[in-house]
Structure 1
Amino acid sequence: MKDKSIIADKLDDLEELLLPRRRTLLTWWLKIFSYLFLFTGVAALAMYPLAFLMENDYRVALYGLESSDRSSFITLAVVVLFLLKGAVAYGLLLEKDWAIEIGLVDAAVGILVCLFVGFYTMFGTGSYIASFRLELVLLIIYLIKLLKIQAIWKKSPAGLN
């Protein structure tokens, strides 16, 4: 009976060796966007407090949410969205265990914000035409990709580098 458990342990070790490294699961476009959002997340973290210290207003926009008033709720929401994207990018690029789960939250929040902005344009402004955002298509592709690699990500080892 003990021999079967040793064999099962060895098979588990072999299976782990055959799994790809997490970074290889990321497509080229996912890596590019991760580096971009890692940079913008750090920039948002630095620029938001500086806007109050230097009394400057910066124009921020993401998913159709736009603002140039540093004290508005929309500006805070956009900064928080950029920080979320930066955290996901950090997790994906450094192969963290939690990266896919936070990425799924990021994709879902982005899709909901895009839908809200589109419907608000239609009903809130009285234009009777919903605005279509290209980001919505990209977010759906991003969500599908994360769902596809989620199971393998959990099993795959993180890189040692």
Structure 2
Amino acid sequence: MRVDDLRQYIRDIPNFPTEGVIFRDITPLLKNPDAFATTVDLMAEAVSSLNVTAVAAVEARGFIWGGTLAYRLGVGFIPIRKPGKLPFEVVEKEFELEYGKDVLQIHKDAAGPGDSILIVDDVLATGGTAQAAADLVNTLGADVAGFCFLLRLGTMDGYERLSKLGKKVFYLLTV
């Protein structure tokens, strides 16, 4: 299976979660073992030169890709979550979404100086979530090695926003 073959497993859901937003449903891709494996393999191949010490991902769909990618790369996994979900001391960051505002948190001891972190999520839209994740990682003293996404929304400016950070930005498909 090739990267372009994955497109058939992405379902568009109009007006979800709010009016005017087209939600990219990846559950058909997750259901298909070949598509799922191909996605993980292609992501791992794309970021293999980064020499990361851990993968950080934002809940919930980012955990799917972040966890499998961390395993595939042989590095640790760092969850970045919404408030009240992490049991230890946290650092938090408020940020703008495509359709509102949100807050993310990370454990204070999740990373530190000398760590090189790959930030992973399913969709790159405005880049706000990924930027907030990067800010959290940087707050801990770690370096952001780059970003990796399954999908890039071509109508949004997230790629440009993250590219300005001087880090590599990888994605498999533009929708």
So what's the TM-score if we normalise by structure 1? 0.30
Structure with the higher fraction of residues in strand conformation: 2
Structure with the higher fraction of residues in helix conformation: 1
**Rg (Cα) greater in structure:** 1
Q: Which has the higher contact order (CA 8 A, sep 6+)?
A: 1
So what's the TM-score if we normalise by structure 2? 0.28
